[in-house]
Structure 1
Amino acid sequence: MTLNLDKSTWKRVAFGDVVRNVNETVRDLESAGIDRIIAMEHMVPGELKISRWGSAESGTTFTRRVKPRQTLFGKRRAYQRKVAYAEFDAICSGDVYTFEADEIHMLGEFLPFLVQSNEFFDHALGTSAGSLSPRTNWRDLANFEFDLPPLDEQKRIADLLWAFERHRLSLGQQSVELLATLTRSALLQFESALGPEHRIADLCESVIGGVWGSPAGENEVDVLALGPKSYAGDVIYVDPTGSPTRSISRKQAAGRILREGDIVLERSGGSFDQAVGRVLIAGPDLPDTIPTDFQRLLRPDRSLVEPAYLFWKLRLDWLTGVTRDFARRTTNISNLAVPDYIARTLIVPSRRDQLALVDRVDQLIRAVAKAEDEARALGALRGAAMSDIFGGD
């Protein structure tokens, strides 16, 4: 994307000449009418909007005031790229700078995009000091030089970039609502299903533990071994891209190499915020791929159940927190009690009704994917615009 910008009227300035690092202290939050706390964990990389915050009622040692139209920048571990635009009064962590534009020279709505630019982050990273928790200081950030457009052009640029941002947020909300609709719809269909009940274990030809194997070339068969990253991004289908190559025996391979319709169940993993028990389903034309020892392979008996029907039941269990009832925690890792989990019963309706449910779910999934594809395309367009604006001639 090219904006055909005429930068001949832009002026070279230092960041500190047009931006103030405001360090206003608030001791009495109640008198100041402040009830929100912004910590580093409330700032999401790549997200300008602050959607989460803490409550002042729970107590805090933070004293730095945040005002609307300020741009927040996480000075600790700047490589995390935490930048946010304040829309409400709050207090924030001392690890967060509160930048305020000198509006004689720079518009407040232009500032967050400058701070989000690759050029600003390159400077911040280059001036960070410390090994375990590097920080960048205001003195070094103030020396960052860039070309500043006139105010009228800043307004035009900011309007364009905020339009990108609003549309991206809208697409994200659309995806969230579609997923909520999918969950509600599928739950209702499972709950209203009519047919015989079967134990989940009995609906499977086999339930097999995964293996890690040996280094590539050391055994009889080389395969791709699924790792924890296989679940990244809330995916549905098995994608072994980036998985390590491991070596196993022919006997191990015979039962564990994934076939279309196989379900991979997470046996160990998760966290306090994320339940264990995620599932993936194998699509066609996979390279030789196996689950590893923190997973279980469930191979549905197609004479009894459609693999996708069983998959969506298990996925809904995870989405709605059912798997937490079967989790046992050791240190920071949850382990799923698989025998108990798959001993539960499931109503299995006619083949026609199973396929109808799966088809309705697929329609919603395609709608979600369309919104996500549009969001990715918008992100690429926004990135190109940012490069054109802040990346020099």
Structure 2
Amino acid sequence: MSLNLDKSAWKRVAFGDVVRNLNNTVKDPAVEGIDRVIAMEHLNPGELKINRWGSIEDGTTFTRRVKPGQTLFGKRRAYQRKAAYAEFDAITSGDILVFEADPTQLLPEFLPFLVQSDGFYDHALGTSAGSLSPRTNWRDLSNYEFDLPPLDEQQRLADLFWALERYGLSIRERADRAWDAAAVVLRHAWEAERKVPLGDIGECVTGSTPSKANADYWNSEDVPFYTPSEIDGEFIASARQRVSLAGAKAGRMLPRNAVAVACIGGDLGKSAVVVEPGISNQQITSVIGLPADDAELLQAVLAHPLGRAALQARETTTIVRKLNKSDLMKVEVPWPADRTTLHAVVRARRTATVGATDEASRLATLRSGLTAEIFGGAE
């Protein structure tokens, strides 16, 4: 898709000529009627909408004020691409810059898309200093130059971008509704009387680590070697380390659709379905021998808050939290003879997630192309 823009009337400007960096402070937010706090962790990379925030009641050292219609930009670790559009009054971190457009030259609703552009982020990264926590600053950002459309054209482009933004939000909301529906059905299943020990559902096997002293086991890219830190989400599809076929034979091969459960430390209780056959270390115990639909259902059952609670109820605590295989096998989970409904809701949840991910990817590609056409790319 191309906008076929006529840029003959556009003018070259510096960011600081059309945008102000505000540092308005508030001594007592409660007196001002402000009850929300925005920190860096509340900004999601690539998302303009702020969906999370802290509370003034919990205490804060922040004093910088944010008003609706202003654009926020995370100056620390700019590579994270954290920018947002404020829709409510709040207090924010000193690591977040507050931008306000000069409405006689730049529309406030157009500004956030300029800040999201590759050219702006390339400039921010190029002017960041520091090794552990690099930061850019307003002085350098104010020098960023770009071509600015006339106000009427800014309005048309802003309307297009906001329409895409709303569509992106609707994609995520559809997936969220599928997850919410599945959570309700799974909760009802957990509250039902019939429970089955995990050991009766499938075979439980604990992983092992091939000897690090044997280089032949590790100098290879043949077979994934899974660890608890890689269990993040419904499926475990990649591993930072891989072993040779000989190394895999020294361990215990996990087939596709094994349900891996982390059984130690802070990761205890996390679970995922194995996508690529591999081996795991001894901190993972897996349930094997299940067809795909049962494996995905079991993972969903275990990942539910009541499932995590059931796993943690069986843990033993010495120096570190641990869940032995014998105790894992005794964990009772809802497992009715007829699992048709449960299979259906988990499948619908996965379909919604995959569909939302694919559509969001296509939307991101479209937005990236439009942004590059309007604002250009790297300097």
Q: Is the TM value for this pair above 0.5?
A: yes
Given the two structures, how large is their TM-score scaled by the length of structure 2? Answer: 0.87
Q: Which residue of 1 aligns with 2:376?
A: 391
Q: Distance in 1 between matches of 2:126 and 2:213?
A: 38
1:263 equivalent in alignment to 2:259: yes
Of 197, 200, 204 in structure 2, the residue corresponding to residue 199 of structure 1 is 197
Of 336, 361, 378 in structure 2, the residue corresponding to residue 376 of structure 1 is 361
Contact 2:23 2:65 in 1 (8 A): yes
Q: Which residue of 1 aligns with 2:243?
A: 246
Deviations 1:200-226 (A, max 9, x none): 124333422232554896149952212
Q: Distance in 1 between matches of 2:334 and 2:42?
A: 42
Cα distance change on mapping 1:33 and 1:187 into 2, 3 Å: closer
CA RMSD between the two structures: 3.0
Q: Which residue of 2 aligns with 1:295?
A: 284
Of 347, 358, 363 in structure 1, the residue corresponding to residue 348 of structure 2 is 363
Q: How far does residue 165 in structure 1 lie from its aligned partner after superposition?
A: 1.0
Q: Which residue of 2 aligns with 1:208?
A: 206
Q: Which residue of 2 aligns with 1:86?
A: 86
Q: How far does residue 356 in structure 1 lie from its aligned partner after superposition?
A: 5.3
Q: How far does residue 133 in structure 1 lie from its aligned partner after superposition?
A: 2.1
Q: Distance in 1 between matches of 2:375 and 2:315?
A: 49
Deviations 1:171-208 (A, max 9, x none): 112211111111222343465586xx642124333422
Cα distance change on mapping 1:329 and 1:43 into 2, 3 Å: farther
Q: Which residue of 2 aligns with 1:104?
A: 104
Q: How far does residue 150 in structure 1 lie from its aligned partner after superposition?
A: 0.5
Q: Which residue of 2 aligns with 1:176?
A: 176
Name structure 1 gaps, 5 residues minimum: none
Task: Using the aligned pairs only, state the percent identity.
Answer: 45
Q: Distance in 2 between matches of 1:329 and 1:45?
A: 37
Cα distance change on mapping 1:337 and 1:165 into 2, 3 Å: farther
Q: Distance in 2 between matches of 1:149 and 1:349?
A: 62
| Range that drifts further, 32-41 or 319-328 | 319-328
Contact 1:212 1:293 in 2 (8 A): no
Number of residue equivalences: 373
Q: Distance in 2 between matches of 1:28 and 1:248?
A: 64
Cα distance change on mapping 1:92 and 1:172 into 2, 3 Å: same
Contact 1:21 1:98 in 2 (8 A): yes
Of 279, 282, 286 in structure 1, the residue corresponding to residue 271 of structure 2 is 279
Q: Distance in 1 between matches of 2:133 and 2:97?
A: 16
Q: Distance in 2 between matches of 1:104 and 1:152?
A: 11
For residues 10-21 of structure 1, the aligned pairs below 5 Å read 10-21=10-21
Given the two structures, how large is their TM-score scaled by the length of structure 1? Answer: 0.84
Contact 1:214 1:246 in 2 (8 A): no
